[in-house]
Amino acid sequence: MKKLLFTVLSILTLAGCKEKTQKEEIEKDTLDVKIDSTFQTAVKQYRYLSNQVTLGEYPKTFYKDKEGLETSNSGWWCSGFFPGTLFYLDEAVGAQDLKEEGVAILEDLKKEQFNTSTHDLGFMMYCSFGNAERLAPKKEYEEILMNSAKSLSTRYNDTVQAIRSWNSAPWNKAGEDDLVVIIDNMMNLELLFWATKHSGDSTYYDIAVNHANTTIENHFRKDYSSYHEVIYDELTGKAKLKITNQGAADSSAWARGQAWGLYGYVVMYRETKDKKYLEQAKNIANFLLNHPNLPKDKIPYWDFNAPKIPNALRDSSAGAIIASALIELSTYTTGEISSKYLNDAKVMLESLLSSEYIAEVETNGGFILKHGVGNMPNNTEVDTPLSYGDYYLIEAMLRYKELNK
């Protein structure tokens, strides 16, 4: 009797395990299928988008009810995302024509390697030339990236121990002896790490570390939410004012700003292996994922403290950035916390890859993601596609596929 009971229990246990394994496999396959389908949609969209611009025009957004497609020149902070997305799509599915389009765009973009007037050279040059060099190394790309890092380094202030973001911010009463740093600047440090690895010159590495440390000290509140902007006295290095220019209020948690911070400190840990950056990334992630105003589908409102929640607009770009960062963060952690980061990223991707957010072919101006929010207080790019939303969505999908090979 005991032997029979043991046999029955063993069969039931094996059946339960098999059922669980099959369920997990189905869930994984469902997201894999959605990702593969979205890659195909994205290729069609970017072929359509490419046909609407000429060399020197960089897609920014699309207004369906008025101006239509909005573009910039190469000096705009988003210029690197268009060619970067083309390279990512070729990497994902082998779209040779998009790769060739991206290479052609680099010929126009490369002049920005000497641009010392912006802190956004990481976005502009590393998302474009960085991907081009990674996928098809060329001496020319390496030289352009090194010059870009040198240009970015000219904006570093040793007294403040940070890289100047905006040259001025008169709307916030920033004076001539003030240095403005925004949380977005964490995203430009990856270029500096590349420069040190390539050249052996630790100057770039040290600048990145100093900037990240200054940002930890001054940009974050006790709950690990972040101000958008800190104004420093560049003569003393002390923080004078902490504000949130693109969020709902100075004290609010502007969603994309939180996303930049999370992603930035994941990169910091990857490049330095200093555990304080891993802890910072985990603390930011925990703030975001445990926030009472994070919706069930994990796509954040444009500000975690936005007026009119739950009827406030979502920001799909913030969701894409967070998902990409969480996937990488899950690889640096173990156990339940690693599973949580990955599972929450999967929920975000499932949501972003639904018809609510993915545009139909030849709609949405050719962009992939709908419902981004650029600058709500300034009433620009509100509930529109955004070039960086597309870039980080494709990156997140590539990262997820890499984990599930």
Task: Give residue-wise pLDDT tens across range 206-264.
Answer: 999 999 999 999 999 999 999 999 999 999 999 999 999 999 999 999 999 999 999 99
Residue in 372, 302, 355 with CA at minimum distance from that of residue 70: 372
State the pLDDT at residue 404: 86
Instruction: Count H helices and E strands in the chain, helices first.
Output: 13, 9
Distance, CA of 273 to CA of 264 (rounded, Å): 13
Which residues, at least 6 apart from 151, have a Cβ–Cβ distance to it below 8 Å?
A: 113, 114, 115, 116, 121
Active site residue 120: yes
Catalytic residue selected from 120, 178, 344, 390: 120
Three-state SS at 301: strand
Instruction: Dump pLDDT digits (tens) for 366-377.
Output: 999 999 999 999
State the pLDDT at residue 65: 81
State the pLDDT at residue 76: 98
State the pLDDT at residue 177: 77
Distance, CA of 60 to CA of 385 (rounded, Å): 8
State the pLDDT at residue 168: 74
Active site residue 233: no
CB-based contact 233:173 (threshold 8 Å): no
CB-based contact 329:281 (threshold 8 Å): yes
What does the buried/exposed string (b/e) look like for 139-152 if buried means 16 or more CB atoms within 10 Å of the residue's CB? eebbebbbbbbbbb
Can the peptide bond before residue 310 be classed as cis, meaning omega within 30 degrees of 0? yes
How many CB atoms are closer than 10 A to CB 218?
17
What is the chain's Cα-based Rg?
A: 22
Distance, CA of 298 to CA of 325 (rounded, Å): 14
Distance, CA of 270 to CA of 125 (rounded, Å): 20
Q: 12: which strand partners?
A: none
State the pLDDT at residue 9: 47
Catalytic residue selected from 178, 184, 303, 344: 184
281: amino acid identity, one letter: A
State the pLDDT at residue 232: 96
What is the token pair recorded at 341?
């980061």
**Residues lower than pLDDT 70 in the chain:** 1-28, 169-176
Is the CATH code 1.10.340.70 the one for domain 30-72+252-405?
A: no
